[in-house]
Structure 1
Amino acid sequence: MEDQVPDRVDEEDEFRVRSLLGGYCRSLIPADTRTLLTGFSPLEPRLTIWTPKKILSSRTKAKSTLGKVEGPYRCVDHFESLAEEDFPGKDTLDKLFNHAVERFGSLHCLGTRDLLSEENEVQPNGKVFKKLILGEYKWLSYNEVDTIVDEFGSGLAALGQKPKSCIAIFCETRAEWMITAQSCFRRNFPLVTFYATLGEDAIAFGLNETGVTHLVTSAELLETKLKNVLPQIPKLKHVIYVDQKKINTDGYTAGLSIHSMQSVRDLGALPENLERPIVKPQSSDLAVVMYTSGSTGSPKGVMIIHSNLIAGMTGQCERIPGLGPNDTYIAYLPLAHVLEMTAEISCVTYGCQIGYSSPQTLSDQSTKIKKGSKGDSSVLRPTLMAAVPEIMDRINKNVMSKVQEMSYVQRTLFTLGYKYKLEQIRRGYDAPLCNVLLFRKVKKLLGGRVRMMLSGGAPLSPATQRFMNVCFCCPVGQGYGLTETCGAGTITEVADISTGRVGAPLICCEIRLRGWVEGGYTHNDKPNPRGEVLIGGPNVTQGYYSHENNDSDFFVDEKGQRWFCTGDIGEFHPDGCLQIVDRKKDLVKLQAGEYVSLGKVESALKNSSLIDNICAYANSEQNYVISFVVPNQKKMMELAKQRRVTGTFEEICTHPEMEREVLKEIKEVAVHSNVKLQRFEIPIKVHLSPEPWTPETGLVTDAFKLKRKELKNHYLHHIERMYGGK
């Protein structure tokens, strides 16, 4: 991050500001706040509240149970076994929800903002953007959600949905998604989930593979995506749309019944339906078949049983201190992603309130929020949020862009305050005066109350992690997990001030490394052992739906424990924390025999303020790396003006002079990056793409991971050009 703040400030100014900040910060911390800021952990009673986070973060967090460097490693806080501390006997998801209703019945549970109006706004380039004006959050209490869950589940049963028979949901993140899920958990209807941005072929594939007869969706997705697909799904009999509006059912497949969610609830509320006996699930019953968006090939449905999810959530919640009814969670990531689904179920279990949002309405500056009106974060003021690195990177670049536009005095003060607080964080302390004077406005971008953020889905760069720590005044935990492990694997502790690592194994699982000689990763590597990450424990799922390759990805050891082979390359540090250093599929051997880690190259170069997104590419028959770059439009236009290159953004991106400028920036960033790149790893040719990569374009997943195969096909002509073929 240091290389993103203004470079030079007057030394006398720096001394004066440091003295001022240092003198005030310690005196302003109330005694009760010191406990929070110093990271006191009740798991370590021998440490006092004055112990800096630096000391807490250096303690041993996990050990190898067999004393071998490759593991298996387990968390030292719960070394023996997984304990049912908070919810004894609650071994299925319906029991967790019923328990939450009993405890928190009258409290707010799920909240949605009213749509007051929408307008079309014409952009200078002729494009039309839809802008929304939204009202306050309207809340359903736990008791109200419980009633809706009862009625909707009863209505689905009345429409012929059978226990242990799959039902699908293809819908955006919203309260009705979670209500549908809880209805299915209660009546033992395994829920098949699909990303709302999944392509038509993938949707048809998954619906046919699981043989569903009932599908829950939204009116928009029904009319824009599903209408063309439905004739390809012969077993589907009922489609339920969750919106309040009425839709035209003309032109749909004969024999297909289309219902509103309210009409299904009304059917379920009839006494003869509501009083039907419920077949409750067992802990070993299938709860979810979660189709991954997949960075390669056809989507795969991961089979998750109730006990898998409960084990995974137990591990995740243990790393979030103080989770409870005082927390507000903002939900905007895809609920068909295991990170978001488990986060929301956990929040409901602990009595939190969940306010629904979307990436397009998250903040006041979001693309669908009309200028002058408030985004969801400003209205909801959440205390907890999950994010993928792509979203944090955007926030980072947007804020730093605003800093560059400040006056010299403002910029200097911000820079000095930033560096001072960064130094305090590294020592294990906070800087409250900086928080009040310098970072309060930045913090308000997300409502001003966020006490913890969790990043998952892809590696978070150290620069962005430090930026979020400093400017948003809250710990940013990195998590590592996969759909196949219920999103659970590792999460960094609140007190851990290190960057680039994903923490120690959660209490629900253990992790070991398997050497990969071909890629050059072994247990004997110095300074730390490295290898493919294997995750074992009760959170490891049951394999892929109707797939024959389960044996190569999953296995059971001699003790009967299930393991999943992740394909990620990890390194264990002496304190038991894991760092993800590579991925098998991202490794390409060049013509001369050198291995290039494409993910490593991208991680290093995304730190450039000129680059919004980048995909590195290498052909084994060639001896150099090339890249596709989505440049930052504002920075690119400024650079073009300096170089006297004129035209639209699209024309500027195709100008040879601008390609040379971006390559010059790439080399500069590669030299100064914390991620050390070898000379052969640095791309020497580039194609600039004026269109951003979004899940809607099909070039990235819903978690914004690159789809390398699709990107290669999309830019095939440019690959041939850059490699001299055309």
Structure 2
Amino acid sequence: MKINANINPVLLCFLHFFMWLYDLITFVPWFLLSGARERQSRAMRVKAKPVKDHPESPYRSVDSFHSLASSLYPGCDTLDKVFKHAADLFKKKDCLGTREILSEEDEIQPNGKVFKKVILGKYNWMSYEEAYSFASQFGSGLSALGQKPKSNIAIFCETRAEWIITAQACFIYNFPLVTLYATLGGPAIVHGLTETEVTHIITSKELLQTKLKAILPQVPLLKHVILVDGMGKQQVDIPKNITVHSMGAVQAFGAKQLHSHHSLPMAHDIAVIMYTSGSTGIPKGVMISHSNLIAGITGMAQRIPDLGENDTYIGYLPLAHVLELSAELVCLSRGSRVGYSSPQTLSDQSTKIKKGSKGDASELRPTLMAAVPEIMDRIYKNVMSKVASMSSVQRGLFSLAYNYKMKQISRGSTTPLCDRLVFRKVRKLLGGKMRVLLSGGAPLSAATQRFMNICFCCPVGQGYGLTETCGAGTITELGDYSTGRVGAPLVCCEIRLKNWEEGGYYNTDHPCPRGEILIGGPNVTMGYYKNVAKTKEDFFEDKNGQRWFCTGDIGEFHSDGCLKIIDRKKDLVKLQAGEYVSLGKVEAALKNLPLIDNICAYANSDQSYVIGFVVPNQKELFKLAENKGVQGSWEELCNNSILEREVLKVITESPAAATLERFEIPAKLRLVSEPWTPETGLVTDAFKLKRKELKSHYQEDIERLYGGK
């Protein structure tokens, strides 16, 4: 992506001359003293290669070519030992941080809606020594409440320090932890709790009131509810067979009778039963052992250079998602601080932050952050919208700096002057000290990745993994500034490509072998809880006893051993005339248009064209409506047939559409006024589309767009 600069030609010539002169003067000392030669050499090296000279051969990282890595520290083969090792090593160092709430108030919006706004203070920190002690005492308290080793216990809670303390307590006492997304609906929660037969659940007051209360009678085995945020004034009618406790009371009880001879976990014991977010139906419980998670975080840690006690990680994604849990466990294993946030309080402009006060990133100033592409796309669109509203001179200078830096980083060069003079303000949106952004959960568009590289002045480690592989698969090396790829296999696993004839992908394809991605290694999990048939379908063991997972994603290996995700089996639809359409490819191509906040492509096999559901950008749609002389409320504009046609015209004539085949471009559209959030049940917590739910939700529109109504 190149941004057009609109500057006076004379000034433009002067600025280009100044940049040329600056490059000329600084290049030699920069190249010799900054380690640029080594960085360029590392970025261009072969990062992974096939184990054998055969199309079926798996690819391995050159850093683990002869033996896959599976442990962080010698002798630490279970997660409780890893945390104990970190607690002994970093005793007094800050471990877990929670921000204090100074005040809370309701703010009435112009449309009559009431938003809750907060003013937050400083972060209060718990040291590594204190966190380990709290976890040990809490685990002891759970044991005293009747929780047995190797018996499942559930956590249904928002991301916060108490979540990770609960997890560590369960690791220490060998309680398999059942994780459920806080945004799951009632039936999915009941399914998870009844399938795993839990008797104890850890949750918050809000979730007990809003979600759990209604379904408690449907979970007869449940006996104890532990609230992480204290008892408060109980207004919930609880069934008589259930007792409610505060986390503090359970911890205090456990401290009095600390179990020093409790049942210790083994490496192959289940640590977590992680329920997926259910993008394709009923959530499945993935059984993850201690050794699986340790192998996964070993692979991730190797791709983050110099990770240690000088780093601060900001945690705000759902801890019930393998990306966030793995990222936090990696940081805690290396002595980094983890400060907690939420999507509603992350930045100064977040919805719950009172105007004029600091968001969590400004206060915490993190160096590390994990993000799903949806969040990065929002940041990208917001910043570019502000750039578009600048004066022509400001916009021109920003564009010139942006294009200059894009050219420099493609060569492996840095731009300290541009970073300080132009991008400092943008960088401050995330605190100003970010050194690594980790992206996972879905493919990240090239435009957004390059924008984050340039404006936030840090590399983006785009990764690929699944719950079934502990989130570990690949991560791009931080010196690799190419876009659209997810990097080489991590040191804990290997990847091979399996032919998929229906889609026309073969591991003998040239110049890039292509096929379904299979991941093998110690990070590949034990399978699905109480679902032998699905486990046999998706997992297998080779003749050497190594476990493999069939991902359903289609990838291609490049000559340097890096992987690119190019398709997904479940997203492929065959149209009436025989053409194959990758719905994910269509969405990825169109999603970054300024007019589109979100898009879902849809196709029926008995039809000849693709249709689309678009959540428009409000500002851009109102602007389009004004240009076309269309008036009305937001809902009225989204239901206006003229605007449907105009949005379709914008899409069809966009440069993004030029990357698609004619039959892949949606022929008809439905504009949607309601944003798709995890709370609506139409996307997962990682903002992946739930196609089944979207199809059901918009069934009448599908019939209308295909001429049925």
If the length of structure 1 is used for normalisation, what is the TM-score? 0.95
Aligned partner of 1:456 among 440, 459, 463:
440
Kept in 1, the 8 Å contact 2:474–2:487? The answer is yes
Cα distance in structure 1, aligned partners of 2:126 and 2:106:
31
Aligned partner of 2:665 among 670, 673, 682:
682
- Once the two structures are TM-superposed, the CA of residue 6 in structure 1 deviates from its matched residue by 3.7
Secondary structure at the aligned position of 2:104 is classed as strand
1:296 paired residue number: 280
Aligned partner of 1:504 among 459, 472, 488:
488
Residue-by-residue CA offset, 1:546-574 (whole Å, 9 max, x unaligned)? 00221110000011100000000000111
Secondary structure at the aligned position of 1:274 is classed as coil
1:15 paired residue number: 13
Kept in 2, the 8 Å contact 1:118–1:130? The answer is yes
Cα distance in structure 2, aligned partners of 1:130 and 1:89:
49
Cα distance in structure 2, aligned partners of 1:606 and 1:473:
24
1:372 paired residue number: 356
2:246 paired residue number: 260
Superposed, which structure 2 residues align to 1:641-720 within 5 Å?
641-669=626-654, 671-672=655-656, 676-720=659-703
Cα distance in structure 2, aligned partners of 1:558 and 1:537:
13
- Once the two structures are TM-superposed, the CA of residue 121 in structure 1 deviates from its matched residue by 1.6
- Once the two structures are TM-superposed, the CA of residue 258 in structure 1 deviates from its matched residue by 0.6
Cα distance in structure 2, aligned partners of 1:544 and 1:712:
26
Secondary structure at the aligned position of 1:118 is classed as strand
1:633 paired residue number: 618
Cα distance in structure 1, aligned partners of 2:180 and 2:25:
53
Aligned partner of 2:334 among 329, 346, 350:
350
Q: 1:591 to 1:564 in 2, by over 3 A?
A: same
- Once the two structures are TM-superposed, the CA of residue 449 in structure 1 deviates from its matched residue by 0.2
Q: Which amino acid in the other structure matches residue 704 of structure 1?
A: F
Q: Does 1:409 align with 2:393?
A: yes
Kept in 2, the 8 Å contact 1:25–1:431? The answer is no
1:516 paired residue number: 500
RMSD: 1.7
2:104 paired residue number: 118
Cα distance in structure 1, aligned partners of 2:207 and 2:190:
14
Aligned partner of 1:609 among 586, 594, 598:
594
Cα distance in structure 1, aligned partners of 2:368 and 2:33:
16
2:570 paired residue number: 585
Cα distance in structure 2, aligned partners of 1:267 and 1:632:
52
Secondary structure at the aligned position of 2:178 is classed as strand
Kept in 2, the 8 Å contact 1:53–1:427? The answer is no
Q: 1:562 to 1:117 in 2, by over 3 A?
A: same
Q: Does 1:157 align with 2:146?
A: no
- Once the two structures are TM-superposed, the CA of residue 303 in structure 1 deviates from its matched residue by 0.1
2:193 paired residue number: 207
Kept in 2, the 8 Å contact 1:389–1:455? The answer is yes
- Once the two structures are TM-superposed, the CA of residue 13 in structure 1 deviates from its matched residue by 3.4
Secondary structure at the aligned position of 1:130 is classed as strand
- Once the two structures are TM-superposed, the CA of residue 8 in structure 1 deviates from its matched residue by 4.7
1:574 paired residue number: 559
Superposed, which structure 2 residues align to 1:457-472 within 5 Å?
457-472=441-456
Q: Which amino acid in the other structure matches residue 623 of structure 1?
A: S
Cα distance in structure 2, aligned partners of 1:262 and 1:74:
47
Q: 1:86 to 1:712 in 2, by over 3 A?
A: closer
Cα distance in structure 1, aligned partners of 2:71 and 2:22:
42
- Once the two structures are TM-superposed, the CA of residue 18 in structure 1 deviates from its matched residue by 2.6
Secondary structure at the aligned position of 2:52 is classed as coil
Cα distance in structure 2, aligned partners of 1:192 and 1:479:
25
Cα distance in structure 2, aligned partners of 1:312 and 1:26:
45
Aligned partner of 1:97 among 57, 64, 83:
83
Kept in 1, the 8 Å contact 2:5–2:397? The answer is no
Cα distance in structure 1, aligned partners of 2:143 and 2:132:
17
Q: 1:13 to 1:525 in 2, by over 3 A?
A: farther
- The alignment of Structure 1 onto Structure 2 pairs a total of residues equal to 708
Cα distance in structure 2, aligned partners of 1:118 and 1:22:
53
Q: Does 1:724 align with 2:689?
A: no
- Once the two structures are TM-superposed, the CA of residue 128 in structure 1 deviates from its matched residue by 1.5
Cα distance in structure 1, aligned partners of 2:19 and 2:361:
30
1:324 paired residue number: 308
Aligned partner of 1:59 among 42, 45, 50:
45
Kept in 2, the 8 Å contact 1:152–1:183? The answer is yes
- Once the two structures are TM-superposed, the CA of residue 70 in structure 1 deviates from its matched residue by 4.1
Residue-by-residue CA offset, 1:242-268 (whole Å, 9 max, x unaligned)? 003524165211211110101111211
- Once the two structures are TM-superposed, the CA of residue 663 in structure 1 deviates from its matched residue by 0.3
- Once the two structures are TM-superposed, the CA of residue 26 in structure 1 deviates from its matched residue by 6.9
Aligned partner of 1:428 among 412, 431, 435:
412
1:78 paired residue number: 64
Aligned partner of 1:537 among 504, 521, 528:
521
Quick one: percent identity of the two aligned structures?
65
Cα distance in structure 1, aligned partners of 2:54 and 2:406:
36
Which 4+ stretches in 1 moved above 6 angstroms? 28-31, 33-37
Kept in 1, the 8 Å contact 2:5–2:400? The answer is no
Residue-by-residue CA offset, 1:74-126 (whole Å, 9 max, x unaligned)? 00112111347851111110001001111111010000111111121222222
Cα distance in structure 2, aligned partners of 1:457 and 1:118:
33
Cα distance in structure 1, aligned partners of 2:158 and 2:20:
48
Q: Which amino acid in the other structure matches residue 96 of structure 1?
A: V
- Once the two structures are TM-superposed, the CA of residue 28 in structure 1 deviates from its matched residue by 6.4
- Once the two structures are TM-superposed, the CA of residue 57 in structure 1 deviates from its matched residue by 2.2
Cα distance in structure 1, aligned partners of 2:500 and 2:435:
39
Secondary structure at the aligned position of 1:386 is classed as strand
Kept in 2, the 8 Å contact 1:152–1:265? The answer is yes
Q: 1:29 to 1:161 in 2, by over 3 A?
A: farther
Residue-by-residue CA offset, 1:646-700 (whole Å, 9 max, x unaligned)? 111111111112111110111123x446x82100000011111111100000000
Residue-by-residue CA offset, 1:112-149 (whole Å, 9 max, x unaligned)? 11111112122222222111111111111111112211
Cα distance in structure 1, aligned partners of 2:254 and 2:25:
61
Kept in 2, the 8 Å contact 1:54–1:426? The answer is no
Q: 1:498 to 1:232 in 2, by over 3 A?
A: same
Residue-by-residue CA offset, 1:518-561 (whole Å, 9 max, x unaligned)? 11111232331110000000000000000022111000001110
Kept in 1, the 8 Å contact 2:287–2:526? The answer is yes
1:313 paired residue number: 297
